[in-house]
Amino acid sequence: MSDTHAQTVAYVRDTMLPAAAPPLRESGAVRWLRENLFSGPVNTILTILGLLIVWFLVATFWDWFAHSVWNASSLSECREIIAATWGEGARGACFAVIRERWNQYVFGFYPQSLYWRPTMTFGLLMVALAPVLFSASLTIRRVVLVITAVVTLWAMSVLGAPVGWLLFSAAVLVAGLLASERNIAWLLPFSAIYPLLGVWFLWGGSLWGPIFVLVGPLLGWVAWRMLSGVSPLLATVAALLVTLLFWMGLAGEAARDAENILSLSIESVRSDRFGGFLLSLTIGVAGIALSLPLGIMLALARRSDMFLIKSLAVIFIEFIRGVPLITLLFVASLLLNYFLPPGTSFDIILRVIIMVTIFAAAYMAEVIRGGLAALPRGQYEAADALGLDYWKAQRLIVLPQALKISIPGIVSTFIGMFKDTTLVTFVGLYDPLKSMSDAVRANIAWKGIYWEPFVFVGAIFFLICFGMSRYSMYLERRLQRGHR
């Protein structure tokens, strides 16, 4: 039937037209613009307003950035260069201050010949963090560790690290890389002892100190093993007591004696030499590493059925959250000295780390409590039905889910805490943002410089915090389970 018509009816088309490009307003950039920026009157007005603001910002600040001077030894020299290049009355940024005081912004007053030590510390930190942060993906681990190894070794050799230490860190970095290729869990023991190693690298002194700090828990574990047959409670108490007593009574003496027999010392650096980003990162990393476990314990304690534990947790959290961080820092730096016996020197950075940690932990506890509360009741009941005891139920069923829910909140707390490390300026430590910049300005060559240090320090803080935020998003994606 149709055949006949196809042959006889002249107006039936027998070939397809070639596909034409969509109309201009329905394709490409024009369509994107129309749909996203000019879809309606309100949207159009907002777009124009936004463009005006951007234009205003660029128009106002462009010349300041464009006239930047990077090579000068004083603010007045900067001004001369700007006047000579861009004419009288031109303004420009004088980033030469960053160039000249770069070391101070990064390392504070750390001895120049020892700059390689913090560099090595943070390089090895990446190795210690690999099994914790990047346990899932071999590719990411490989990229991170290779970059870390190259950058660390290059920086250390530029900074004049002794050959022995270069070989040591090369060995650790390569071993870390190999372990990461085979089985990342092998690196966990290194992660466990890293905090002590890091402290030793940064502050120096005798290695026997950290070694005997490690011996304490070991003795505690022995005590626990010996008594665990008698009574679990007694064993736990004894383990804690043995550890504490060893630390308070014997560890110091033993470390001194061992040091006299076999010296394992590197040049020690005092806390008042720390400053700049070295200080911020030291406090930030220590605070982050310590506040998460403490926060988990507090969150569990707050949801505990035991009245005393629960009340203590509530009091602690509410008290710490109710007090501004600056108050805590003042307490750490000044009030403690009234209570401690005169002559005791309790390291100021340690004091600050403790205060920052408990401050962040109180917030962390509430964030994690939110995650715990969000878990359906069925999960707890399932754990009970399986016959798991409290700790096993928390470890295997409750916490993995609760922590996953809380990731955005946890990372927010971390970011907030890291930025709060600049508050140490109020207790006379040299944070990069204010104290260090004021110290730079106290030199007559740079007096009067104002915005450039803020821009620089702000940019570095942004990079670090943005990195943390992206990492948390990666973690959320990776831990996504079902519900799609």
Partner 1 sequence: MKKTVFLGTAAAATLLSGMVMAQEGSTLAQVKERDELNCGVNTGLVGFAAPDANGNWTGFDVAFCRALAAAVLGDANKVRFVPTTGQTRFTALSSGEVDVLARNSTWTYSRDTDLALDFVGVNYYDGQGFMVNRELGVTSAKELDGATICIQTGTTTELNLADYFRANNMNYTPVNIDSNAEGEQQYMAGACDAYTTDASGLAATRAAFADPENHIILPEIISKEPLGPAVRHGDSNWGDIARWTLNALIAAEEYGITSRNIEELVRSSTNPEVQRLLGATDDLGAMMGLDAEWARRAILAGGNYGEIFAANIGEQTPIGLARGLNAQWTQGGLLYAPPFR
Q: Which residues bind partner 1 (CB under 8 A)?
A: 75, 79, 100-101, 103-104, 108-109, 112, 234, 237-238, 241-242, 244-245, 248-249, 270, 272-273, 330, 333-335, 337-338, 341-344, 425-428, 430, 434-435, 437-444, 447-448, 450
* SS3 of residue 26 by DSSP: helix
Nearest CB to partner 1, comparing residues 193 and 244: 244
Q: C-beta of 175: minimal distance to partner 1 in Å?
A: 35
- Asked if 355 and 332 touch (Cβ cutoff 8 Å), the reply is yes
Query: In whole angstroms, what is the distance from residue 466 CA to residue 414 CA?
Result: 12
Nearest CB to partner 1, comparing residues 131 and 220: 220
Q: C-beta of 236: minimal distance to partner 1 in Å?
A: 11
Nearest CB to partner 1, comparing residues 44 and 103: 103
Query: In whole angstroms, what is the distance from residue 19 CA to residue 358 CA?
Result: 67
Q: What is the chain's alpha carbon radius of gyration, rounded to the nearest angstrom?
A: 30
Which among 420, 413, 408 is positioned nearest to 362, based on CA atoms? 413
Q: C-beta of 216: minimal distance to partner 1 in Å?
A: 13
The full DSSP string for 355-382 is HHHHHHHHHHHHHHHHHHHHS-HHHHHH
Query: In whole angstroms, what is the distance from residue 234 CA to residue 228 CA?
Result: 8
- For residue 220, what is the DSSP state? H
Nearest CB to partner 1, comparing residues 108 and 176: 108
- Asked if 417 and 426 touch (Cβ cutoff 8 Å), the reply is no
Nearest CB to partner 1, comparing residues 251 and 296: 251
Query: In whole angstroms, what is the distance from residue 278 CA to residue 107 CA?
Result: 5
- Asked if 402 and 374 touch (Cβ cutoff 8 Å), the reply is yes
Q: Which amino acid is at 210?
A: P
Nearest CB to partner 1, comparing residues 218 and 230: 230
Q: C-beta of 119: minimal distance to partner 1 in Å?
A: 18
Q: What angle do CA 114, 116, 119 make, to 5 degrees?
A: 130
Which H or E run includes 352? helix 348-374
Query: In whole angstroms, what is the distance from residue 171 CA to residue 426 CA?
Result: 41
Query: In whole angstroms, what is the distance from residue 205 CA to residue 478 CA?
Result: 42
Q: C-beta of 423: minimal distance to partner 1 in Å?
A: 12
Phi–psi pair at 428, nearest 5 degrees: 85, 15
Nearest CB to partner 1, comparing residues 100 and 366: 100
Nearest CB to partner 1, comparing residues 11 and 338: 338
Q: C-beta of 129: minimal distance to partner 1 in Å?
A: 30
Structure tokens at 388: 């798991």
Which among 359, 297, 362 is positioned nearest to 328, based on CA atoms? 359
Nearest CB to partner 1, comparing residues 85 and 183: 85
Nearest CB to partner 1, comparing residues 28 and 428: 428
